[in-house]
A and B are shown apart, each in its own frame.
Chain A
C-alpha cells in the first residue's frame, strides 16, 4: 500500500513538472503572436511591456537569491576562521579564540548597522559617506539601478537587488576584516580590548577606506580597482592587526633571548584542515558573489574558476617553497598557501584570465612562506600567519590587477594591466590605493590600539598568559577531560 502511494506521488510530481514548461512556452508564444500580428486573442493579452516587466522582476528575484546565497557562504567563513585559528593555537587558549571568533560577527553586525554602512556607501564626499549615516535609514528605492536610483546610497546602485540584500552582503565582508585581527593578536590579548577595537574597526576604519574604493571615494575616481576586497577587506584587517601586534609584543616564550624562534605549535591540525576548506568553500561566495548579480552567468563562472585555480596553484607553490626552505612540507604552510592564493585573487578575480590567476596564485604561495619566516625575523609574533596571508597577499593581489588585468574580460572597464599592454596607468593607481589605505588604516589603528592600551590595558597578565586565557578570561577549559602541558 505504502509503495503504491509513493508511486502515485512521484507520478503527480512528473505531471507538475511536465505542465510547468508547457505553460511557460504558451506565454512566450502568445507574446510572439501579439507582437507579430497585433491580433486580438481571447486570452488576456501579454504585451511586450508586460513581458519586459516580468523579466525585470525575475532578474531582481534571481539576483537577490544569488546575493543572499553568496552572503551566507561568506558568513560561513566565520567558522573557517575560528577553526583555523583555534587549531593553530594552544589548547589552553581555545575557548578564548572560539569566543572571539563567535562574538566578532555580533560586534560587526551592530557597528556596521549603526554607522558603518552609512559611512561606506552613503552619498558624501571623496573621503566618507555623509547621507543616511545611521541604521541604514537613508532614502532608498532599490532595486532601481543606475540613473533610476534616487536614494542615499548611490554608490552601490550598480546592483539591482533590494537594500537589505546589499546590506547583508556587505556586512559579512566587514565582519571578515575584523576576524583577521583576531588571529594575529591571539593568545595574549584581553577579551574586552579585542571587542572594543573590533567595534571601532568595523564602525569607522573599514567603512572609510571602503568608501574610498567602493563608495565612490577618491581612489575609485583615480581608477583603482579592487573587485572583492584584497585591499578593502584583507589588507585593512592586516594593517589593523599589524598595529595591534606591534603594541602587544610577542607571546611569552616565542623568541629566545638570542632572538631565535622557539616554535609554538598549534594543538589540533584536524581543525586547521576543516577551517582551511571551509574558508575556501566560503570564498566561492566572497568572490563570485561580489558580482551582486547573476547576469548571463558567464562572469560568476569565470570568477569561480579564477578563484579556485589561484588557491590550487598557491598550495602547490607554498608546499614546494616550504619543502625547499624547511626541509619538510609543513602542513600549516600548505593551508596558509591556499588562503594566500585566495586573498591574492580576491581583487583581480573578475579582471584577469584563468592563466593569469594561476600565475597570481603561484606567486602568492611563495610569498606567504617567505613572509611568515620574515615576520619571525622581525620578531613580530603572528600565531596563525594572518599577516602574511591577508596583509602581504592583499597587497600582492591588489597590485596584480595592475599587472594582469585585461579590459572588459567580465564586463568591467579596467583597462589593460602592464603585462597586457596597458602600461603603468593601472598599476600606478593600484599602488597609490595600497599606500593610501595602508597609511590611513595603520596609523589610525595604532592610535586606537594605544588609547585602548591606556584605558583598558591590552595584554593579559603574565600569570594569566601562562595558565591560558581560557581560564583567565572565561573561567572555562576547552578540553576539561584531557590534561596537557600548559608550558613546555
Chain B
C-alpha cells in the first residue's frame, strides 16, 4: 500500500482528476496549498526569465493506492499536470502502514477498494 502525494498547478486540477478517473483511480483527496520549489517561488514570465519570489498557489492530491495501482496513478498525474514549464510540481510516493474504512472497519486492500 502506498500513499501518492502530488503537488500540481492549480489550473491543472480538473485535467489531473479526469486523467485519474480514466485509469479508474476514483478515490482522491484534494487541498489548496501554498509553497515553493527549486526557484524559491520565482515564476517564468513571457520572456522566460524568473521573477517574483513568493509562496505560490498549488493543489495537493492525496491518493491511497494498492501497489499495482501506483504506476497508472503516477502516469495519470503526469499526463494531467505536465505543461513542460517550470513549476509543474512533484509526486511523492510514501509507504503506507494501514488503511481503515471508517464505516465498515475494513482494513488494508479491502479498505482501499
List residues of chain A with CB under 8 Å of any chain B CB: 253, 463, 466-467, 483-488
Contact = CB atoms under 8 A, between A and B. Distances in A.
A488 B13 contact: yes
Which 4 residue pairs of A and B lie closest in terms of their CB atoms, listed nearest first? A487-B14, A466-B11, A483-B32, A486-B10
A466 B32 CA distance: 16
B57 interface: yes
B14 A253 contact: yes
Contacts of A487: 10-15
A485 B34 contact: no
Contacts of B10: 467, 485-487
A484 to B, nearest CB: 7
A483 B14 contact: no
16 contacts: A463-B11, A466-B11, A466-B12, A467-B10, A483-B32, A483-B57, A484-B32, A485-B10, A485-B13, A486-B10, A486-B11, A486-B13, A487-B13, A487-B15, A488-B13, A488-B14
B100 to A, nearest CB: 28
B59 interface: yes
Contacts of B30: 485
A485 to B, nearest CB: 6
Interface string B36-72: 0000000000000000000001010000000000000
B47 to A, nearest CB: 15
Interface in B14-34: 14-15, 30, 32, 34
Interface residues of B, number: 11
Which DSSP category, helix, strand, loop or mixed, fits chain A's interface?
A: loop
A202 to B, nearest CB: 33
A486 B17 CA distance: 13
Contacts of B32: 483-485
A406 B11 CA distance: 57
Nearest to B58: A483
A358 B61 CA distance: 53
A402 B14 CA distance: 50
B56 to A, nearest CB: 11
Interface of B: 10-15, 30, 32, 34, 57, 59
Contacts of A463: 11
A81 to B, nearest CB: 28
Nearest to B10: A486
Nearest to A483: B32
Contacts of A484: 32
B11 A467 contact: yes
Contacts of B14: 253, 466, 487-488
Given A483-B32, A487-B13, 7 more contacts: A485-B30, A486-B10, A486-B11, A487-B12, A487-B14, A487-B15, A488-B13
A253 B14 CA distance: 9
A487 B59 CA distance: 10
Contacts of A485: 10, 13, 30, 32, 59
B34 A483 contact: yes
Nearest to A484: B32
Interface centre among B11, B13, B32, by most A CB within 10 Å?
B11
Contacts of A483: 32, 34, 57
Contacts of A488: 13-14
A486 B34 CA distance: 14
Contacts of A466: 11-12, 14
A253 B57 CA distance: 22
B19 to A, nearest CB: 13
A394 to B, nearest CB: 36
A485 B14 CA distance: 10
A487 B13 CA distance: 6
Contacts of B34: 483
Contacts of B57: 483
B25 to A, nearest CB: 17
B43 to A, nearest CB: 11
Contacts of B11: 463, 466-467, 486-487
Nearest to B85: A463
A463 B57 CA distance: 16
A137 to B, nearest CB: 45
Contacts of A253: 14
A187 to B, nearest CB: 14
A483 B31 CA distance: 10
Contacts of A486: 10-11, 13
Interface centre among A463, A467, A484, A486, by most B CB within 10 Å?
A486
Nearest to A467: B11
A486 B12 CA distance: 9
Nearest to A485: B13
Interface centre among B10, B15, B30, by most A CB within 10 Å?
B10
A42 B30 CA distance: 92
A483 B35 CA distance: 13
Nearest to B83: A463
A467 B59 CA distance: 13
Nearest to B11: A466
Interface centre among A253, A485, A488, by most B CB within 10 Å?
A485
A486 B16 CA distance: 13
